[in-house]
Structures are given as structure tokens and as C-alpha cells.
């Protein structure tokens, strides 16, 4: 079945550091790929998405590119802020939404 | 804008008790789903519905029951609570239809503890 594997955390960074969270997937079809973010005490909200190979999703300085050849959708941000501290989930949608385990990111001032 | 509303936010149950977690959305979304979130396991799909009167099982359905009598509401019932059901539960909705590209909107979660 479909599955998502993302890099385990927790990840701790200093402000202005570069962030990358690896995500790879297994799917039988042609899924859409998503990154969701969960801030403390809240539900998940969409961060960015890509619907086909080579698409780049971007939002709030975060980017991820749908790489079909490597079945990957790594999340990157060039300069993180304290407000980026959250749990990040990679997900795929092939008529059912499947999530990775989540990566906790803490950014220190 | 209400979006997806879950109640209650916190609940403590004794083993064997039953209860219903409520979920309501005001966006006229056809697709609604329930997930549980456990440390290190991400979100796992419990049940989902593609429209009023239609429900189906997800990855971890045992011990849970759902029904969908209206577009707006999708309650999750715990039939006989067990400590293994201690978790954070999220309800989500989307306007996906046959599309895989639409955003899912999540409620703020219900933290359930079974003692």
C-alpha cells in the first residue's frame, strides 16, 4: 500500500539556519504530495503541495519539489525563524491521505 | 469562520465506557475523515466518508464506529474504551470529490485518555 517515510526528529536549529526535512514515498498510482504543519496545541494546516512530477510547492519561505525519479518530496527553508518551531508532516494523496510520522522542529533564538 | 469544529477538546474515560467525539464542518465538504495521532506514528486513518450516508474503514477502524447522516456532521463513537485508544483524535474535511489535489482542513483535536 501507499506509505510515506520522513526523517526522524527532533531537529533543533538556531535562527537563520538552513532546514531540510527528507521525505520519500511509496505509491502504486500518481499521488499528490503535501507538507502539513502543526503548531503547538493546534490541528494540522496545509503548508504547501505539488500535484505532479517536477512541480515545486512553496509557501512562507518553504519549498519542496516533487521528484518522481527518486520518489521524494524534501522540505527546505533557507533561513528559519523561532516561529517555524512546529511538527511537520509529509503526506501523499492517492484517493486516501497518508501521513509520515512527523518531524518536530525547534528553532532557538 | 468556524471551519472544522471538534468537541470536546479533552476527555478522560474509564475502561469500558462509551462516548462520542463530535465533528462538524461548515464548508459543505463531501469528504470527512477521522485520524488518531500517536507519538512516532504520524496520523492514522480510522474511518472516512465520501458523502452523507456513505462511510468506509481506514487503517485502524477496530473499536470505533461512525455514521454520516448529514453533510455537516461526522461523529466518531468509541464503543467500549480501552487504554490503547488513548490518543489525540483529529477530524478533517475536504471538497475533494474525485480530486486528489485539494487541501484537507483539520479540527483542533480531541485529547482522549482512557484509564
Q: What is the pLDDT of residues A27-75, one digit of tens each?
A: 988 899 999 999 988 889 999 999 999 999 999 999 999 999 999 999 9
Asked if A57 contacts A77 with a C-beta cutoff of 8 angstroms, the reply is no
Dihedrals φ, ψ of B84, to 5°?
-65, -10
B90 touches A at CB < 8 Å: yes
A-B contacts at Cβ under 8 angstroms: 51
Residue B5 predicted with pLDDT over 90: yes
Q: What is the DSSP string of A45-90?
A: EEEEEE-STT-EEEETTEEEE-BTTTTB--EEESS--GGG-EEEEE
B17 pLDDT band, cuts 50/70/90, is very high
Closest CA to B73 of B12, B5, B9, B1: B5
pLDDT of residue B42: 86
pLDDT of residue B101: 67
Residue B100 predicted with pLDDT over 70: no
Closest CA to A32 of A53, A59, A6, A46: A53
pLDDT of residue A24: 97
Residue B1 predicted with pLDDT over 70: no
Residues of B in contact with A45 (CB under 8 A): 105-106
**Could you tell me which residues of chain A have a Cβ less than 8 Å from any Cβ in chain B?**
4, 31-32, 34, 36, 41-46, 49, 51, 89, 93-102
pLDDT of residue A97: 85
Residue B96 predicted with pLDDT over 90: no
pLDDT in tens, A71-109: 999 999 999 999 999 999 999 987 778 899 999 999 999
Distance CA B52, CA A14 (A): 48
Residue B105 predicted with pLDDT over 80: yes
Closest CA to B16 of B86, B82, B76, B112: B82
**Cell, residue A64:** 519542496
Closest CA to A18 of A77, A60, A73: A77
B98 pLDDT band, cuts 50/70/90, is low
B108 touches A at CB < 8 Å: yes
pLDDT of residue B115: 97
Comparing A21-30, A92-101, B21-30, the range with the smallest average pLDDT is A92-101
**Cell, residue B84:** 490503547
Amino acid at each position: 500500500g501507499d506509505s510515506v517515510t520522513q526523517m526522524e526528529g527532533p531537529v533543533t536549529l538556531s535562527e537563520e539556519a538552513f532546514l531540510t526535512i527528507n521525505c520519500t514515498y511509496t505509491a502504486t498510482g500518481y499521488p499528490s504530495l503535501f507538507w502539513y504543519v502543526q503548531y503547538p496545541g493546534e490541528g494540522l494546516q496545509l503548508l504547501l503541495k505539488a500535484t505532479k512530477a517536477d512541480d515545486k510547492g512553496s509557501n512562507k519561505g518553504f519549498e519542496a519539489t516533487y521528484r518522481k525519479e527518486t520518489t521524494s518530496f524534501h522540505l527546505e527553508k533557507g533561513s528559519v525563524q523561532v516561529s517555524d518551531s512546529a511538527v511537520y508532516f509529509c503526506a501523499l494523496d492517492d484517493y486516501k491521505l497518508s501521513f509520515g510520522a512527523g518531524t518536530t522542529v525547534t528553532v532557538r533564538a | 469562520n468556524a471551519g472544522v469544529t471538534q468537541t470536546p477538546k479533552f476527555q478522560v474515560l474509564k475502561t469500558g465506557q462509551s462516548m462520542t467525539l463530535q465533528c462538524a464542518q461548515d464548508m459543505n465538504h463531501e469528504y470527512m475523515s477521522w485520524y488518531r495521532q500517536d507519538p512516532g506514528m504520524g496520523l492514522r486513518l480510522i474511518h472516512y466518508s465520501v458523502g452523507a450516508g456513505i462511510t468506509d474503514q481506514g487503517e485502524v477502524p477496530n473499536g470505533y464506529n461512525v455514521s454520516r447522516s448529514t453533510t455537516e456532521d461526522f461523529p466518531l463513537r468509541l464503543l467500549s474504551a480501552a487504554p490503547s485508544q488513548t490518543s489525540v483524535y483529529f477530524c478533517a474535511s475536504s471538497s475533494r470529490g474525485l480530486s486528489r489535489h485539494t487541501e484537507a482542513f483539520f479540527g483542533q483535536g480531541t485529547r482522549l485518555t482512557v484509564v
